[in-house]
């Protein structure tokens, strides 16, 4: 891995002047949003685990494992910040960045597979192959750029940025992961609207939740400077919690019960 002298300059400047990773309002808002999302995420996992014990559905298991991957992605993302900001361990920061991206991509992939199996299971195999190929490309290019260091990746303001060409590759590669689940749920909601209105309404909410989730996880992973976008985790977490815990008021709202 190449030596990043610019990072060394940033780190020593940080040590001298005592700059905090929570020195800006945006950092504080982002942290508060992540804490709220984390609380709901625990509830989501509990609801999914309870549902899986009862029905043993693969769809439930896919989303459950995806949410667990999201927790690990968040843990390693925190380690990235401390490794680069407080400990001055560039190698550990790069390693944690790679692991964070792997867990985040795994989460996105599993959410996509959940969406396909719930809506149009007959298309599951072909979409799975396409997403696995895209995942392999994203993993290889991301790891290669992170390990090579400058000019392919660089630490700026204690965040790992990829060069413009690799950022473009990541953006294009992640587009299907956003479009597929959202379009599937909205199309499915429209298709079954007349016969199963309650399932249609729930699909709309799941689609909205995945839209917020995709904005939060994908935008921040492509451009780390847009960390404040992670506030979208809050509506996503709330929607997912309600859709999987299915409280009585929500059942009445979507028309499942009177």
**For residue range 150-169, what is the model confidence (pLDDT) as tens digits?**
777 777 666 777 777 777 88
pLDDT of res. 14: 52
pLDDT of res. 184: 84
3-class secondary-structure state, position 159: strand
Report how far apart, in Å, the C-alpha atoms of 162 and of each of 16, 71, 140 are. 27, 23, 13
pTM, whole model, 2 decimals?
Answer: 0.81
In this structure, whether the domain defined by 25-246 belongs to CATH 1.10.1240 is answered with: no
Which residue is listed with tokens 């985790």? 233
Give 193's DSSP letter: T
**Sequence ranges of the domains in the chain:** 25-246
Rounded to an integer, what distance in angstroms lies between the CA atom of residue 183 and that of residue 59?
Answer: 18
Give 20's DSSP letter: -
Which residue is listed with tokens 């299907």? 176
How does residue 36 score in pLDDT terms, banded at 50, 70 and 90? confident
Residue 136 has pLDDT above 80, yes or no: yes
3-class secondary-structure state, position 161: strand
- Integer Rg of the chain from CA: 20
């Amino acid at each position: 891995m190449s030596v990043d002298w610019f990072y060394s300059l940033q780190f020593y400047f940080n040590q001298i002047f005592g700059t905090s990773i929570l020195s800006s309002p945006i950092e504080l808002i982002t942290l508060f949003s992540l804490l709220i999302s984390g609380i709901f995420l625990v509830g989501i996992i509990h609801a999914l685990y309870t549902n899986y014990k009862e029905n043993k559905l693969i769809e439930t298991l896919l989303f459950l494992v995806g949410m667990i991957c999201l927790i690990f992605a968040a843990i390693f993302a925190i380690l990235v910040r401390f490794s680069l900001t407080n400990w001055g361990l560039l190698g550990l920061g790069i390693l944690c960045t790679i692991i964070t991206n792997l867990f985040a991509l795994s989460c996105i992939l599993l959410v996509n597979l959940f969406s396909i199996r719930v809506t149009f299971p007959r298309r599951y195999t072909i979409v799975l192959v396409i997403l696995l190929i895209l995942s392999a490309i994203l993993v290889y290019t991301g790891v290669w750029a992170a390990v090579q260091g400058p000019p392919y990746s660089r630490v700026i303001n204690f965040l790992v940025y990829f060069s413009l060409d690799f950022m473009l590759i990541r953006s294009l590669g992640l587009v299907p992961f956003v479009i597929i689940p959202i379009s599937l749920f909205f199309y499915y909601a429209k298709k079954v609207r007349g016969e199963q209105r309650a399932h249609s309404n729930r699909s709309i909410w799941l689609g909205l939740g995945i839209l917020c989730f995709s904005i939060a996880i994908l935008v921040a992973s492509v451009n780390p400077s847009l960390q404040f976008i992670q506030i979208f985790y809050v509506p996503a977490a709330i929607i997912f919690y309600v859709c999987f815990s299915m409280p009585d008021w929500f059942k009445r709202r979507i028309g499942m019960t009177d």
